[in-house]
């Protein structure tokens, strides 16, 4: 077995099970604190487009990973949609429409242009979670195993992209690798006691409530 195959299948193994810890934690606790619905919508886009791209360039590690990833991404999207009390159709159609556009770009313009088009959903998937980690009052709903695994997964896919010398994979993987690294560090800081940047303190909430009551009176 070559180095490319070892790294590719290792990335596949991690990627296939990546969303499972987060899904299990959400099912067990029903706690969505620190979780981003927007990020998981974008993850749905990422899973679909990389499944199709992997089939197009005949790389089983890429498409097989995303087949299994969808089995956790979809339930997570559904659970988060219900928790946010948003219609499921309103959550799914933008994701599927975006995926269709990017797949069209891959078919019409090739791998390098596809790689550029795949960057926005990848940034949204990882960066959307960054925003929640920074601003959420609590991050109790976030799985530590998932956060660590996301960074490890991006490290493996970045290595795989360089080994197979696929321009689209290299371009689209670099930025998510950096963002998942940030998420891991920031999540650790939150667990160590770092406060949210824009969460309102109880004192401010009480002041606001008193002010609104006075204005109504």
pLDDT digits (tens, 9 = 90+) for 1-20: 789 888 888 888 888 888 99
pLDDT for the residue numbered 198: 67
For 34, residues 6+ apart whose C-beta sits below 8 A from its C-beta are 132, 133, 136, 138, 139, 140, 141, 142, 190
Query: Quick one: three-class SS letters along 150-161?
Result: HHHHHHHHHHHH
Q: Is the pTM of this model over 0.85?
A: no
The answer to whether the beta carbons of residues 114 and 32 sit under 8 Å apart is: no
For 44, residues 6+ apart whose C-beta sits below 8 A from its C-beta are 70, 73, 74, 77, 92, 95, 96, 99
If you average pLDDT over residues 140-163, what whole number do you get?
Answer: 93
pLDDT for the residue numbered 208: 42
Of all residues in the chain, the percent with pLDDT exceeding 70 is 91
In eight-state DSSP terms, residue 33 is T
If you average pLDDT over residues 160-179, what whole number do you get?
Answer: 88
- Higher pLDDT among residues 101 and 122, named by residue: 101
Phi then psi dihedrals of residue 199, to 5 deg = -70, 135
pLDDT for the residue numbered 172: 82
Give the whole-angstrom CA distance, residue 169 versus residue 119: 10
Which structural domain, as residue segments, surrounds residue 40?
3-216
How many domains does the chain divide into?
Answer: 1
pLDDT for the residue numbered 32: 93
Using CB atoms within 10 A of its CB, is residue 73 exposed (0-12), middle (13-18) or buried (19+)?
buried
pLDDT tens sequence across 36-82: 999 999 999 999 999 999 999 888 888 988 999 999 999 999 999 99
If you average pLDDT over residues 133-143, what whole number do you get?
Answer: 93
Counted residue by residue, the chain has a size of: 217
Q: Is 48 helix (H, G, I), strand (E, B) or coil?
A: helix
Give the whole-angstrom CA distance, residue 109 versus residue 117: 10
Per-residue pLDDT for 201 more than 80?
no
């Amino acid at each position: 077995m070559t180095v490319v195959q070892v790294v590719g299948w290792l990335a596949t193994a991690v990627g296939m099970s990546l969303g499972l810890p987060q899904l299990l934690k959400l099912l067990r606790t029903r706690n969505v604190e620190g979780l981003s619905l927007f990020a998981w919508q974008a993850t749905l886009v990422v899973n679909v487009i990389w499944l199709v791209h992997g089939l197009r360039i005949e790389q089983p590690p890429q498409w097989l990973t995303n087949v299994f990833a969808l089995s956790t991404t979809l339930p997570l999207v559904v659970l988060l949609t219900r928790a946010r009390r948003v219609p499921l159709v309103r959550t799914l159609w933008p994701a599927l429409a975006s995926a269709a556009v990017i797949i069209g770009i891959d078919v019409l313009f090739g791998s390098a242009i596809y790689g550029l088009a795949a960057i926005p959903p990848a940034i949204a998937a990882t960066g959307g979670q960054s925003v929640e980690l920074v601003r959420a009052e609590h991050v109790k709903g976030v799985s530590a195993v998932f956060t660590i695994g996301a960074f490890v997964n991006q490290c493996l896919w970045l290595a795989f992209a360089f080994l197979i010398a696929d321009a689209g994979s290299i371009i689209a993987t670099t930025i998510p690798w950096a963002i998942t690294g940030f998420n891991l560090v920031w999540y650790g800081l939150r667990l160590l006691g770092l406060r949210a940047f824009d969460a309102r303190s109880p004192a401010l909430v009480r002041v606001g409530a008193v002010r609104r009551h006075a204005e109504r009176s």
